[in-house]
Amino acid sequence: MTDLTKLTLADALDGMAKGDFSSVELTDAHIKACEGAGKLNAFITDTHDLAREQAKASDARRVSIKKSGGTVGKLEGAPLGVKDLFCTEGVKTCAASKILGDFQPPYESSVTANMKADGMVMLGKLNLDEFAMGSSNETSSYGPVINPWRKNEDLVPGGSSGGSASAVAADLCLGATATDTGGSIRQPASFTGTVGIKPTYGRCSRWGVVAFASSLDQAGPIAKTVKDSAILLQSMAGYDAKDSTSLDLEVPDWVSACGASIKGMKIGIPKEYTIEGMPKEIEDLWQQGIKWLEEAGAEIVHVSLPHTKYALPAYYVVAPAEASSNLARYDGMRYGLRVEGENLAGTYERTRTEGFGAEVRRRIMIGTYVLSAGYYDAYYLRAQKVRTKIADDFKAAWEQCDALLTPTCPSAPFAVGRKVNDPITMYLNDIFTVTANLAGLPGISVPVSLDKDGLPLGLQIIGRALDEETVFKAASALEDAAGFTAKPEKWWA
């Protein structure tokens, strides 16, 4: 039999439907791949026994559904990975932080509940930056995730969804859940030659997803192809009364949008996304992307998003502010780690000092500072006003175009340890991705090329709020034109 881990999710679902192989066979092949990939450190918790049980149940369900003439679930029997930020009932969920200890949620996040109802087989919980704060997966208290792509030394897979990206790129799972607060789906996708989409804010429920910055956090998939990402998002998205910011709207048929013509589509090129010091290769790739979309029938228009340069500073005020509030609940009283002190305040202090890593403590301090009396107006309120300006820039751009094409990141994946002691350089990774979070817009990263060192590079499509359909159309046109099929050499097994 061919190597089942090399299949796309779409092909694996087809293969099971045709009876070419079972979910048990597919799952076993992926478990074997996971067992041989310890060096990548992509998973925090393996749930292989559970996966085998779920696969067996899925095969049985398929037989009985077939008999009754019904349709199987959208993800029936597909072995997938779940970022360890999604609460999973009875399975350790720790957000890669020591402070959550061995917390086993008594409930399931709405997104993973949707996927389970659609037949997902869960291989395990994927590593990430602690509380999803980071751009390289080096802030995890479970150690860094390693990118399957290499250049004489270990490279980062991006962050915070580095485990998801690394596992998909290395064919350890057919797809994975991820979250994106400032770029954590799209940047790791770009760094690993995978596809990652952050939908419109409110499309996927945040209920049961460990909170980082609630007004920016949004779930989405990392997948091998644009179509696979549509299949996954179709299952993950949907209204949920348990999340007050969830959008009460039908989930459109995004899978059909993949491969549809982009003739006449207007693609905007924002001039402010040309930044000083960006490698020429990325600039050239962007130009190539413009040509590809033009050849596919799109019309290119040049647009301006004048407040772009304020996006990163605004993000690094708003995100830490919300994080400092969200993380106040980890006090050693209810769950997770508790380190006794001399008195109550001492217990709080010791628990939080020992439980949180350096980057998380930095964010809590920045957040507390910008929200404190006297500084609130100068920083937090100001950042919120900038956020409105950024959203207005996009609204003006939509008068001229249907979607935007930009690079996903200002660089290719870098070496482990290279930027870890320089937070500002690290924060610059998010320069092209944070704008979509601040404005709540959908954005996708598509792998299109290898750089001179043989490392993957991605381009990003940003769309109007709720218009994932156009995003998927443009992304699959890019994917078709680029024909990116490169895979990393398998050095880890």
Residues near ligand GLN, by CB under 6 A: 132-135, 160, 180-184, 212, 319, 430
Nearest approach in angstroms of CB 95 to ligand GLN is 11
Establish whether 116 is a catalytic residue.
no
Q: How far is the CB of 367 from ligand GLN (least distance, A)?
A: 11
Q: Which is nearer to ligand GLN, 23 or 184 (CB)?
A: 184
Task: State in angstroms the smallest separation of the CB of 182 from ligand GLN.
Answer: 3
In the bound state with ligand GLN, the residue whose beta carbon lies nearer, of 183 and 336, is: 183
> Which residue, judged by CB position, is nearest to ligand GLN in the bound state?
184
The helix/strand/coil state of 448 is strand
Min dist CB 345 to ligand GLN, Å, is: 29
Cβ-based nearer residue to ligand GLN, 121 or 321: 321
Catalytic residue among 58, 110, 160, 246: 160
Q: Closer CB to ligand GLN, residue 296 or residue 366? A: 366
Nearest distance, CB of residue 198 and ligand GLN, angstroms: 8
Residue 330 — φ and ψ, nearest 5°?
Answer: -90, 90
160 is catalytic: yes
Burial class, 88, CB count within 10 angstroms (exposed 0-12 / middle 13-18 / buried 19+): buried
The answer to whether the beta carbons of residues 210 and 252 sit under 8 Å apart is no
Instruction: Quote the tokens at residue 191.
Output: 């760094």
Relative orientation angle of helices 23-35 and 9-18, to the nearest 10 degrees? 140
Measured from the CB of residue 365, what is the shortest distance to ligand GLN in angstroms? 15
Active site residue 161: no
Angstrom distances, CA of residue 313 to CA of 154, 188, 472: 30, 21, 29
Alpha carbon dihedral 229, 272, 388, 375, in 10-degree steps, equals 110
Q: With beta carbons less than 8 A apart as the criterion, state whether 185 and 198 touch.
A: yes
What is the phi/psi pair of residue 445, to 5°?
Answer: -110, 130
Cβ distance to ligand GLN smaller for residue 128 or 455:
128
Which C-beta is closer to ligand GLN: that of 90 or that of 143?
143
Record the tokens describing residue 442, joined without a space: 């959908």
What is the DSSP-derived secondary structure letter of residue 209? B
Which candidate in 22, 141, 184, 324 is catalytic?
184
Residue 398 has which token pair? 């939509």
* Of residues 183 and 440, the one with the C-beta less far from ligand GLN: 183
- Marked catalytic residue, from 58, 74, 83, 135: 83
* Cα-based distances in Å from 51 to 18, 26, 94, 125, 308: 22, 11, 20, 12, 44
- 303 three-class SS: strand
Beta-carbon neighbour count of residue 153 at 10 Å? 10
CB of 493 to ligand GLN, least distance (A): 29
Q: Which long-range contacts (CB under 8 A, 24 or more apart) does 330-338 make?
A: 330/99, 330/100, 330/355, 330/356, 335/100, 335/101, 335/103, 336/99, 336/100, 336/101, 336/103, 337/98, 337/99, 337/100, 337/101
Question: So which residues are the catalytic ones?
Answer: 83, 160, 184
